[in-house]
Chains A and B, each alone.
Chain A
Amino acid sequence: MSPIVLMSTPMTSVSALAPASPVVTAAGTSASAFPWLTLIGAIPLLGALLLFALPGRAQVGRALALGFSLLAFVVSVVAATRFDPGSTAQFQLGERLEWIPQFGVSYSLGVDGMGIAMIVMSTIIVPVCVLAGWHDVPEGGRRRNVYFAWMLLLEAMIIGVFASTDVFLFYVFFEAMLVPVYFLIGSYGGPQRHAAATKFLLVSLAGGLVMLAAVIGVYVLGPGGPDGFLVERLTGLSFDPLVERLLFVGFFLAFAIKAPMWPVHTWLPQAASQATPATSTLLVGILDKVGTFGMIRFCLQMFPEASRWATPVVIVLALVSIVFGAAVAIGQDDMLRLIAYTSISHFGFIVLGIFAFTHVAGAGSVLYMVNHGFSTAAMFLMAGMLAQRRGSVRISDYGGWQRVTPVLAGCFLVTGLATLSLPGMGSFVSEFLVMLGTFQRYPWAAAVSSLGIILAAIYILLWYQRVMTGPKPEGLERVPDLTGREKWVMAPLIAAFLVLGFYPAPVLDVINPSVSSTLQHAGVTEPRPTNPAPAGAMNGSAK
């Protein structure tokens, strides 16, 4: 459709950042009297330290972990109520302390709509993972408390990532969160966990190093000064085009690895198949969102020109991720690898929506990040519950389980339907918004991505068929159906699917301002319909 239109008043110099600049309406950080964001992150950090200090055999450890993660959830919800979607400031609940003023580094936190949505999603998923990992380390295992400690530490780091408004601080959290994940994969999991953890760490570090160069580059070429790493100071600069592209690539590569996009995705299937289901959930459900979060926050906002320059390549890579990930998922026999590949396909959708540069697609992508967190979490946990009962993650070892464990089968089907984006599930809303917004600019890309919804039906329904349908299996009469704890693990997730499917408006209201401000920074205009409906024909629907 119409090419991306440049804004008529491109910002030409650093001085355009002066407060009087009329172009940037949504900017700045509104400070908060109470350090909400620090508190949300400090609670799991404190819990982690406590668990590290506990004697190895103490029974109270996992209950403490659940308590701390639930407390973080409650505080994050309270903080979310303090968030004002109508505010003109880009970041809210802001906090700022000097850290290394000589190099422009400060401890600056703040969230926009996207950030608060991601934080609340994370604090919902972590307690679910703690519950799901209740028996991951056997009774009396000396490292049980440490397992939950790493989980809480990871939560603290991730909240730091989502809340940072200082690029250097972001980088510190971005790299620091590798440490708990390395130990979660490498110490608890399948027989090849060491190789998987090493691969994850090396690939992530490689991306991180390139990003470090870009982080330093941004500071050196930016305005500098004691707050030279603040995102809002780095927005709207005009770099030399070549330099800007190099900086963009530096950031984008790290985020693409984390997301993960084809062709830098191969660490994920290996890590997901070796880690425990709870770890995989944290990994794919929350941690990978950092990649797409970073693309929106840093790539689009700080390097709009370069983002537009890279758009064709990124869109093609996203489409390859969508189709390729889904096709490989169909051929998998290992359930955990299958879920990992479905996630690669879904991340393709998220990236596609980000780089479509329309409001609808952008809001769809952010919502997708939330929805995908829930649906993938549910998928991994279901696979874990099956594996716990059968002792295998190979699909070919199953068959006819619907007759043995009907409630498990029902939850599995609902989760599968959420993954294949059935209307009525939250994932449908976000996937459709992404495709709808993409169609406005690139109809062919939307058409190709639509193939993903057909392939999704195939990989989910074949999986369900091979695991759940068929004659009643022999010798499994004593396999228990879902226990009370497992029902409590699944219930919030299934509720989240349905609520976000039928009534996503509250979340969208929070997301919308951050999307429009990002697009404004990126300097694009919305495509217009070619033959708009006559005025008054909208009938209370499309305003």
Chain B
Amino acid sequence: MSLMNYVYLAIVLFAIGAATVLVRRNAIIVFMGIELMLNAVNLAFVTFARMNGSLDGQAVALFVMVVAAAEVVVGLAIIMTIHRSRRSASVDDANLLKL
């Protein structure tokens, strides 16, 4: 099986994640879309590492996982706070930071 198939899978996953972020309003779902995109990128990194015979890509993927975990913690906390104060998890309702 060609390694390129993993790349195609990563592209598909990334597209699904991006579409989720753009289309869905619920912050939790948007968050899931972001996670999907991150994992798609991780998949691509690992694949490329395999292709090139270098471990650099795998190291970066580990970094991404660590950062993503931290991000999930902070992000979910923000979403929780917004939900508590506004009784809504829709990203379109949180539009106060504008001119």
Query: Is there a contact between chains A and B in the complex with CB atoms less than 8 Å apart?
Result: no
List the interface of chain A (C-beta within 8 A of B): none
Residues of B near any A CB (own CB < 8 A): none
